Structure 1
Amino acid sequence: MTEATYPARHQLIEFLETHKEEIENEWAETPVFASRDRETAKEEAAALLTGLQRVVQDGAEEDSSAEGFTTARTVLGTLAARSAGGPSGSTLPDVSVLKEPVLRLWKQQDLSDDVTHYGAMVLATAISTLRHVLLEMELSLGADTILAQQEQLAELSTPVVKIWEGVLAIPLIGTLDSMRSQTATESLLEEIAKQQAKVAILDITGVTAVDTLVAQHLLKTAMAARLMGAECVISGIRPQIAQTMVQLGISLGEVVTRSSFADAFAYALRKLGFEVVHAGEVR
């Protein structure tokens, strides 16, 4: 802040304090707060004005991370949540309507043109930054929501199923990326520990392609399961995928493989000491 602008800013700070109640009353009547009862609307308007005063005092009207805007974030979050559920379907309250009342009151002051113009610019900038803060909050919330949905989808797309006492299966479908691979491994290992499983079947019938990274993931999962006392069986390797793996020089080492899930399940039962026979053969 330069020496030339300091007196003007000082007058602006005094104005916000002196006319605090007037501004709060006029703000409470705007659509931003109008859906609340009068007392609550005034309290929210007061909280927002307090943050704005701090911003003006600190000369930080363009900095959305300033302490004053941080103070205002709580009430902004409340306003945004209420607006999102409103009949208009908008996701953000239109805080730009707060400019008119405060600028009108400011311009009614008996001040020089330079001070009036400077103060109006500061106030308009501060309220515009409120809008930016709201957008940042919405983007952050949107990113968190997308991440949560991705995690939920990953969990849903990698279910661990108990198909027999001591036998677990995890059907993998589609493309395996790093997040799904990690989720699948963690889910499988947790269930192996929880159910004391002896055999875990990784069925890749629905996997569209297997490359080196996917093969490494399968091997790591099998090794981790073995360390926990369970044998991992990979089933559903289709001819095209088998050919691709051979061309890439990918080897699953000592991991047991079966052409179908049924074959893998039969292997698991034999591993546990059961024998599968046709009902007609039982006497």
Structure 2
Amino acid sequence: MKRDVEALLAIVSEEEARIVDEWLKESRVPEHQRSAAQGEATQVLRELRDALAAGADPAMLEDPRWAGLNHVLEALSSSRAAQGRTAGDTSRFVLAFKRPVLALAQRRHAGDAALLMDTVWVISSLVDQMAQHTVTTYQLTRESVIRRQQEELLELSTPVIKLWDGVLAVPMIGTLDSSRTQMVMESLLEKIVETESALAIVDITGVPTVDTLVAQHLLKTVSAIRLMGADCIISGIRPQIAQTIVHLGIDLEGIMTKASLADALGLALERTGHRIVKAA
């Protein structure tokens, strides 16, 4: 083991209590968070010590022997991301570890300039890598949260509604893309099987524009519905959308269309043998 690594290992092994105390002061942890932060700092310090004792290379945090420390840093970053705290908060907390360790190295090796310089470099390099690892983990965690929220929003924005016996409706709101169309088709086809419905109304009143791609997605949805033995009505065909469809040369022949959801429901009831009359 190199002299600088031995020096760092000696510091973190023999000065745990002092390092943790100075670390919390440097990071300015609020009093109500001090207990949790103290536990996090102690755990990080012990995993770092164990990895150094096992011969892990301080210049390579990818070394398998750093797995324990990486796991603790990831847990620390993920928990703070879930609390809504920024990547900078986590990074600053980890970087605050540097000052107390550097101060102890200076105190111990002031008479050996070469060893002190090497030890300072090892400490700085290692702590910087630790801070960068927490930032990367934070970003991955936030991306995961955002993806999950997007999926939940998609599910909420494409509900399958039972309007009448044998009649389903899917109100489309926003832009249609491939992933959303796939989700709509899956939900609608499952509901058709579950309710044994004969008609499905796809309402595009909330779709701002219809282009060739949107029309292709609609046609795919209609085809899938027909393959299940049901029929489809597209409602919400506004004058502007009708003109766009004509200009694009999109063929909707054979597909029932209506200007409004109310008109589509009236047609669906008629097709299923129902009639609505006013009470006397």
TM range (shorter): 0.7 to 0.9
Please give the alpha-carbon distance, in whole angstroms, between the structure 2 residues aligned to 1:155 and 1:37. 37
Which residue number in structure 2 is paired with residue 5 of structure 1?
none
Instruction: Say which structure, 1 or 2, has more relative contact order (CA 8 Å, 6+ apart).
Output: 2
Distance between the aligned counterparts of 2:53 and 2:233, measured in 1? Answer: 64
Alignment map for 1:169-248 (pairs within 5 Å): 169-248=169-248
CA contact (8 A) 2:87 2:135 kept: no
Match of 1:98 in 2: 97
Give SS of 1:250's match. coil
The answer to whether the Cα contact below 8 Å between 1:170 and 1:201 also exists between their aligned partners in 2 is: yes
Asked if 1:261 corresponds to 2:268, the answer is no
Structure 1 unaligned regions, length at least 5: 1-8
Look up the match of 1:275.
275
Identify which of 3, 6, 13 aligns with 1:11: 3
> In 2, are the aligned partners of 1:28 and 1:41 still within 8 Å (CA)?
no
Matched position secondary structure for 2:232: strand
What is the CA–CA distance in structure 2 between the aligned matches of 1:230 and 1:86, rounded to whole Å?
A: 46
Contact preservation (8 Å) 2:4, 2:118? no
- SS in structure 2 of the partner of residue 273 of structure 1: coil
Query: What is the number of equivalent residue pairs in this alignment?
Result: 270
CA RMSD in angstroms comes to 3.1
| Distance (whole Å) between structure 2 residues aligned to residue 172 and residue 124 of structure 1 | 54
Unaligned runs of 5+ in 2: none
State how far apart, in whole Å, the 2-side matches of 1:100 and 1:157 are.
51
Mapped partners of 1:220, 1:88: distance in 2: 42
- Structure 1 residue 144 displacement after superposition: 0.9
CA drift of 1:169 comes to: 0.4
Higher helix share: 2
Partners of 1:24 and 1:222 lie apart in 2 by 67
Residue identity matched to 2:103: R
Match status 1:59 vs 2:53: no
Deviations 1:138-189 (A, max 9, x none): 1111111111111111111111111112211011122223332222222212
* Range with greater deviation from structure 2 (112-121 or 74-83): 74-83
Query: In the alignment, residue 57 of structure 2 is paired with which amino acid?
Result: G
The yes-or-no answer on 1:143 pairing with 2:116 is no
Structure-2 change in CA distance of 1:260 and 1:178 (3 Å): same
Instruction: Please give the alpha-carbon distance, in whole angstroms, between the structure 2 residues aligned to 1:118 and 1:75.
Output: 26
- The one-letter code matched in structure 2 to 1:106 is A
Instruction: Please list every run of at least 4 consecutive aligned residues from structure 1 whose deviation after the TM superposition is greater than 6 angstroms.
Output: 86-90
Q: Secondary structure at the match of 1:246?
A: helix
| Paired residue type of 1:79 | L
TM-score normalised by length of structure 1: 0.82
Letter in structure 2 aligned against 1:71 = G
Deviations along 1:104-155, one digit per CA (max 9) or x if unpaired, are: 3323137642232122112111101111011101111111111111111111
